[in-house]
Amino acid sequence: VIRRTVWLASIAVLVGALAFGGWPRHDAPRTPAQRVEHLATIVRCPTCSGVSVAQSEAPLARSARQEMERQVAAGRSDQDIEDYFIARYGDDALLTPRRGGAVRVAWVLPIGVAAVAVGVVVVGTRRWRRGDPGAGEADVADVRLVEEALEVRR
């Protein structure tokens, strides 16, 4: 019983962690400076490769940061500002693609596959421990078959 509980708890933690990672979060920072900082970490530096605006000192990254400050001060939402950069730099304007559509599938699919795999392992292990119930009890025909085989050997 304890083992089963441990197994179930582990599966629940795994699935929960993956689902939490794949679900959109609404914990947007509140102060303007924190919002700019947050946006700078998710928007890709326009002129560099694979780094965020926050990580870059390139002139265009500084300009992008100033644009974020300007738009935050103008009262635009984070979503609006992300849309602004996507409209100008394309879908790869953000370092992490938006969680929706194909991206949601990319998160959910492995969770489903992992759950099925864990289920298969658990069921297989149980069967193996109990003995394969598919084999069942030997019926009369099976017993006769074994006896015939033994006689042939003799």
Binding footprint of another protein on the chain (CB under 8 A):
46-47, 49, 59-60, 62-64, 66-67, 70, 86-90, 92, 141-142, 144-145, 148-149, 152
Task: Name the residue nearer to another protein (CB basis): 86 or 115.
Answer: 86
Closest separation in Å from C-beta 148 to another protein: 6
Closest separation in Å from C-beta 147 to another protein: 10
Asked if residue 118 lies in contact with residue 11, where contact means CB atoms within 8 angstroms, the answer is yes
Task: Name the residue nearer to another protein (CB basis): 27 or 91.
Answer: 91
Closest separation in Å from C-beta 5 to another protein: 35
Q: What are phi and psi of 104, to 5 degrees?
A: -60, -40
Q: Residue 108 CA to chain centroid, in angstroms?
A: 6
Closest separation in Å from C-beta 152 to another protein: 6
- Residues 106, 109: Cα–Cα separation, whole Å: 6
Beta carbons within 10 angstroms of residue 143's beta carbon = 10
Task: Name the residue nearer to another protein (CB basis): 6 or 143.
Answer: 143
Residue type at position 110: P
Residue type at position 34: Q
